[in-house]
Amino acid sequence: MNDNNLKGWLQKSELFHSIEQLEKHRVWLAKMALHLFQTALKTEPMELDKLRNNLHAILTISDQFLPDAKLDRAKDHLY
């Protein structure tokens, strides 16, 4: 996403107040995706609590980008 697209998206979004805040959330989302990837690739039996926690974090952060997707409903069914 280039700077002009980011600024336009931020103007429409009530959740992010700056490009820096938006970028921080994007990095957090990528970090949580890596944690999910690591959980899935472990050779031991999958730790379902870790999987739930990874998914919960991803849904929480993604909900900020997709508020109309109702991702909070999916989070309610994880536990």
Q: What is the pLDDT of residues 11-52, one digit of tens each?
A: 556 556 677 778 888 899 999 999 999 999 988 898 999 999
Residue 23 to residue 61: CA distance in whole angstroms: 12
The DSSP string of 14-73 is SS--SHHHHHHHHHHHHHHHHHHHHHHH-SSPP-HHHHHHHHHHHHHHHHHH-GGG-HHH
pLDDT of residue 64: 83
pLDDT of residue 22: 80
pLDDT of residue 25: 86
Tell me what the mean pLDDT of segment 53-64 comes to: 92
Domain ranges of the chain: 3-76
Q: Is the pLDDT of residue 9 over 60?
A: no
